């Protein structure tokens, strides 16, 4: 998914230079633009298509402030195919604060083209642009293009000046509409060494480079620069699919990371470090390593947390519970401490860094091995594993080791049991930081699978009325999710009432929830239920499908082709058991076959086993997804696997009365 293109190393420091501005990125409009050829990647779901998109980034001198700026020029031409594509005419340009200065936008131009015998062009009025402050770090410039109709074409061009001369913007080739042509040009001055990487599924169609002689002026002398152009054609729209990580992990884009730059005195400043350098910086940082060594905050109170004769694991569990009680998460992520462990304990409030660094410090005070693990959450994207990029990480968890066994911990949530990470943290690999040896990558996963068991027992009377009991047992992430959902209600009674009022075909009479607060035990719900099957009872015949809840009707994997892995976050298992006593005198006329399905190498398994005897129908159905991640080449098998399950679950039992 990531391809290293090259690292460009040039050797002079640029103070002032000259460049010839190219104000128009887009070519003149022609009739050919209106006649888009048929293409397999432009389908009925496409409401608009990008005909051409071009961008160019170059470092220039701000003559007013005599400072360097990166000038980003952008142009895009879009054909609106139907009314659903009209929203493409509503355009927003985000501008970010870099240091103490905001990016600025200028030369905004918008045009709408349509054909009425000839090509007509309507230019957007200058007063159509509105500026909005979102917060202290983001401004927006907004506008809407005029005279939008089906099959019209819109052109948008603008320039952004950014004070961030160390970073060229990521160029995103892939978007939620298809593109015929996308081109990005970066002009790199002779001082910077960038690592350039292509991410995503699609590869470049072409790339070009050429030397710009005498492009920069330095102390009366001119120096060269490099112009790098990257082109991609016929790019399908990106469609977000179920069970996937952050879309930016898969969208095709080109990224620039500054590795080093050269100084006027001939020296060199390295920005891309080795992990040993990052380890040292983290451990010496007062908001990271400085908080790990706060053992004195806990030594005095350890006797209040656990008994001296507790096992090491019991001590770790009690410390974990103590930190969860003492510091409430303020919903702020972070790998660094926001307030410091001492202040967070006093305030009883802190960010992820405060909470989990406090957990490490407390465990260390008790003589328990505990280490910080840097994490990039699922929505933040996968971290770069080729070389250290500390900004990739936005979260911190803990690994504790007791009696030779390791546990991942995150003390941020009330309902998180010992040894379970929330789904947001299950994102590829984390980086575990040691104090006495080099850090290393470690796979982020939960040993406990997500598990739900539906267990139903009941009786159907002579007029087709079912009465019985259902017990639902949750474990792992399923238990965490259900506990979090229940906690969202004002009371447990309010939750049960919601269950009673919102069940569809099943009528819930009364219910109880067990072990809501016992996080190390399974969560259990139990309800008295009734159902009406009188329509299924016709004379001496009775048709019955014993899968009363969670019957699959739609395949979650229905694409013809999938380009991205299926990422469930954890192994999953669902067990469904039912025992139903039928009215006297019925015998089975037709029934689904007992079956077993499996993917290669037991990656997934489904079993359906039923038995009818002595007037009682017993069914056991089990679905096990034994992998957290299914690769692209497994998708077809997974899709077919679910299709066969759906077909099997449709088959009813047919009973006849003797």
Three-state SS annotation for 578-646? EEEECCCCEEEEECCCCEEEECHHHCEEEEEEEEEECCEEEEEEEEEECCCEECHHHHHHHHHHHHHHH
Residue 501's H or E segment, with its range, is helix 492-502
Closest by Cα among 362, 361, 366, 359 to 324: 359
237, 178 Cβ separation under 8 angstroms:
yes
Closest by Cα among 535, 526, 529 to 548: 529
Three-class DSSP category at 231 = strand
107, 159 Cβ separation under 8 angstroms:
yes
How far CA 562 is from CA of 42, 64, 631, 632, in Å, comes to: 17, 52, 10, 6
Backbone angles phi, psi at 641, to 5 degrees: -55, -50
List pLDDT tens digits, range 223-246.
688 999 999 999 999 988 889 998
With the C-alpha atoms ordered 322, 327, 328, 332, is the resulting torsion angle positive or negative?
A: negative
Dist. CA 357–CA 372, nearest whole Å: 7
Spatial CB neighbours of 88, under 8 Å, sequence gap ≥ 6: 47, 48, 78, 80, 154, 177
16, 218 Cβ separation under 8 angstroms:
yes
The whole-number mean pLDDT for each consecutive block of 10 residues of the chain, a chain of 658 residues, reads 44 34 74 89 90 92 71 96 96 92 95 95 95 93 97 97 83 95 92 84 94 73 84 93 89 88 72 88 95 88 94 97 97 96 96 98 96 97 89 96 96 96 96 96 94 98 95 97 96 92 85 96 96 91 95 91 91 98 93 96 97 96 97 96 97 92
- Length of the chain equals 658
Dist. CA 588–CA 580, nearest whole Å: 13
74, 55 Cβ separation under 8 angstroms:
yes
Residue 371's H or E segment, with its range, is strand 369-375
Dist. CA 19–CA 421, nearest whole Å: 52
Closest by Cα among 527, 472, 471, 469 to 497: 527
The crossing angle, in degrees rounded to 10, of helices 492-502 and 477-487 is 100
392, 255 Cβ separation under 8 angstroms:
no
- The CA-to-CA distance between both ends of the chain, in Å, stands at 64
What the block records as the tokens of 95 is 């501008």
Dist. CA 74–CA 451, nearest whole Å: 50
How far CA 482 is from CA of 366, 367, 514, 525, in Å, comes to: 33, 35, 12, 10
400, 406 Cβ separation under 8 angstroms:
yes
Q: In sequence order, which ranges of 349-474 are alpha helices (DSSP H)?
A: 352-365
Residue 325's H or E segment, with its range, is helix 312-326
Dist. CA 405–CA 384, nearest whole Å: 28
Spatial CB neighbours of 628, under 8 Å, sequence gap ≥ 6: 426, 445, 567, 568, 569, 570, 571
The vertex-531 CA angle with 525 and 535, nearest 5°, equals: 155
The vertex-393 CA angle with 389 and 398, nearest 5°, equals: 125
Edge-to-edge order in the sheet of strand 440-443: 405-409, 395-402, 369-375, 429-432, 440-443
What the block records as the tokens of 170 is 């990521």
The crossing angle, in degrees rounded to 10, of helices 352-365 and 312-326 is 150
Dist. CA 276–CA 321, nearest whole Å: 33
Strands 130-133 and 616-625: unpaired
DSSP 76-97: EEEEE-SGGGGGGGEEEEEEEE
How far CA 451 is from CA of 39, 225, 481, in Å, comes to: 44, 59, 11
**Residues paired with 452 in a beta bridge:** 474, 574
Residue 112's H or E segment, with its range, is strand 104-116
The vertex-208 CA angle with 206 and 210, nearest 5°, equals: 175
Instruction: Give me the domains of the chain, ranges plus CATH numbers.
Output: 2-270 (2.60.40.3140), 275-443 (3.10.620.30), 450-657 (2.60.120.1130)
CA 428 to chain centre: 11
Residue 469: CB atoms within 10 Å: 14
């Amino acid at each position: 998914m990531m391809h290293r293109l090259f690292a460009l190393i040039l050797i002079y420091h640029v103070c002032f230079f000259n460049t010839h501005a190219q104000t128009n990125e887009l070519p003149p409009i022609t009739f050919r633009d209106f006649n888009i050829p048929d293409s397999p990647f432009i389908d009925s779901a496409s409401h608009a298509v990008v005909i051409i998109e071009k961008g160019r980034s170059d470092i220039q001198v701000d003559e007013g402030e005599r400072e360097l700026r990166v000038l980003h020029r952008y142009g895009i031409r879009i054909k609106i195919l139907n009314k659903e594509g009209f929203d493409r005419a509503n355009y927003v340009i985000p501008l970010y604060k870099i240091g103490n200065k905001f990016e600025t936008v200028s030369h905004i131009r918008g045009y709408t083209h349509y054909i009425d015998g000839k090509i007509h062009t309507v230019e957007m009025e200058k007063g159509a642009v509105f500026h909005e402050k979102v917060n202290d770090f983001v401004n927006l410039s907004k506008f809407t293009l005029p005279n939008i109709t089906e099959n019209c074409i819109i052109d948008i061009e603008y320039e952004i000046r950014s004070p961030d001369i160390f970073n060229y913007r990521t160029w995103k080739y892939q978007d939620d509409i298809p593109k015929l042509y996308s081109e990005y040009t970066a002009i790199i001055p002779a001082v910077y060494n960038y690592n350039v990487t292509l991410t995503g599924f699609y590869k470049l169609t072409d790339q070009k480079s050429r030397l710009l002689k005498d492009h920069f002026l330095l102390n009366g002398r001119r120096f060269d620069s490099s112009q790098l152009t990257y082109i991609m054609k016929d790019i399908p729209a990106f469609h977000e699919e179920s069970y996937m990580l952050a879309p930016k992990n898969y969208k095709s884009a080109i990224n620039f990371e500054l590795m080093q730059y050269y100084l006027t005195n001939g020296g060199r400043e390295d920005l891309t470090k080795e992990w040993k350098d990052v380890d040292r910086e983290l451990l010496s940082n007062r908001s990271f390593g400085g908080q790990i060594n706060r053992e004195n905050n806990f030594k005095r109170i350890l006797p209040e947390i656990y008994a001296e004769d507790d096992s090491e694991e019991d001590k770790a569990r009690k410390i974990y519970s103590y930190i969860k009680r003492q510091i409430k998460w303020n919903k702020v992520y972070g790998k660094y401490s926001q307030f410091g462990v001492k202040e967070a304990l006093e305030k009883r409030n802190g960010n992820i860094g405060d909470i989990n660094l406090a957990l490490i410090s407390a465990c260390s005070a008790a003589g328990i091995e505990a280490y910080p693990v840097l994490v990039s959450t699922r929505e933040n994207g996968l971290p770069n594993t080729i070389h250290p990029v500390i900004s990739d990480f936005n979260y911190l968890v803990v690994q504790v080791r007791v009696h030779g066994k390791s546990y991942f911990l995150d003390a941020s949530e009330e309902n998180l049991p010992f040894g379970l990470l929330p789904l947001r943290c299950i994102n590829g690999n984390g980086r575990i930081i040691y104090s006495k040896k080099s850090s290393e990558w470690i796979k982020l996963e939960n040993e406990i699978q997500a598990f739900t068991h539906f267990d139903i027992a009941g009786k159907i009377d002579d007029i087709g009325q079912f009465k019985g009991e259902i017990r639902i047992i949750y474990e792992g992430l399923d238990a965490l999710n259900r506990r979090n959902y229940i906690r969202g209600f004002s009371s447990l009674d309010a939750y049960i009432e919601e269950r009673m009022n919102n069940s569809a075909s099943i009528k819930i009479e009364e219910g109880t929830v067990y072990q809501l607060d016992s996080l190390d035990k399974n969560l259990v719900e139990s309800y008295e239920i009734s159902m009406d099957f009188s329509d299924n009872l016709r004379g001496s015949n009775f048709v019955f499908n014993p899968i009363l809840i969670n019957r699959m009707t739609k395949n979650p994997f229905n694409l013809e082709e999938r380009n991205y892995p299926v990422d469930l976050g954890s192994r999953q298992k669902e067990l469904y058991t039912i025992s139903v006593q039928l009215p006297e005198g019925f015998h089975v006329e037709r029934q689904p076959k007992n079956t077993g399905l499996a993917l290669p190498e037991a990656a997934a398994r489904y079993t359906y086993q039923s038995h009818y005897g002595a007037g009682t129908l017993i069914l056991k159905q089990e679905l096990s997804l034994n992998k957290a991640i299914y690769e692209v080449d497994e998708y077809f098998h997974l899709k077919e696997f679910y299709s066969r399950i759906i077909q099997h679950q449709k088959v009813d039992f047919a009973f006849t009365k003797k």
